[in-house]
Amino acid sequence: MNTILDTSDQMRSHTNLALVFQALEGRQKEFNWLLTNVEYNIYPLELPHDPENKPRWFTGEALTALVEKYRIQFIWAILSGFHSEIVIDINSLEVEPIAEGHPTLWTKHPTIQHPKAIVEIVCCDSSYTILLSKDEDLSQRFRRFFPEAKDLGLENSCNFDFS
């Protein structure tokens, strides 16, 4: 189930990952996270500015602690979640997910970019937050927490002509 959140009384600035993680009710800790195409509002020591914007890898516990400690606003980013037993070599990625120019985001059937990922959080220019998920429970939690969230495929079908 794929979801877009473009307006919310709860999330005044996109993407506040602390709120997204609150919506997931701790399930984000079950995954390892690949961060790519990242731009954010503050650069803590644990996540310093990288002019080359190289991919980064975090356990769910470490990423959750970082987000809770600093309340980072992710302006642009892709956060790809993998089952915890999967380890990715970030120096030789077969796919490096991107936010701007995401190949399937604005189609009838948006898909997660990395083939081994279970969930993808797309942070788009501080304008909206997208959750692509192969795990229905994650999507349901997100939609319960953010009742304004909408089905991305349906929104795309209404807003784009795919004929």
Over the stretch 3-44, which tens digit does the pLDDT of each residue have?
A: 999 999 999 889 999 999 999 999 999 999 999 999 998 888
Q: Decide if 3 contacts 153 (C-beta within 8 A).
A: no
What pLDDT score does 162 carry? Answer: 56
**How far is Cα 77 from Cα 87, in angstroms, rounded to an integer?**
20
Q: For the whole model, what pTM was predicted?
A: 0.94
Q: Decide if 21 contacts 67 (C-beta within 8 A).
A: yes
**71 φ, ψ (degrees, to nearest 5):** 50, 50
Over the stretch 35-71, which tens digit does the pLDDT of each residue have?
A: 999 999 888 888 888 889 999 999 999 999 999 999 8
Residue 16 has what DSSP assignment? B
Q: 100 CB contacts (<8 Å, ≥6 apart)? A: 37, 76, 124, 125
> What is the average per-residue pLDDT within 116-125?
97
What pLDDT score does 163 carry? Answer: 56
∠ CA 96-89-48, rounded to 5°: 70
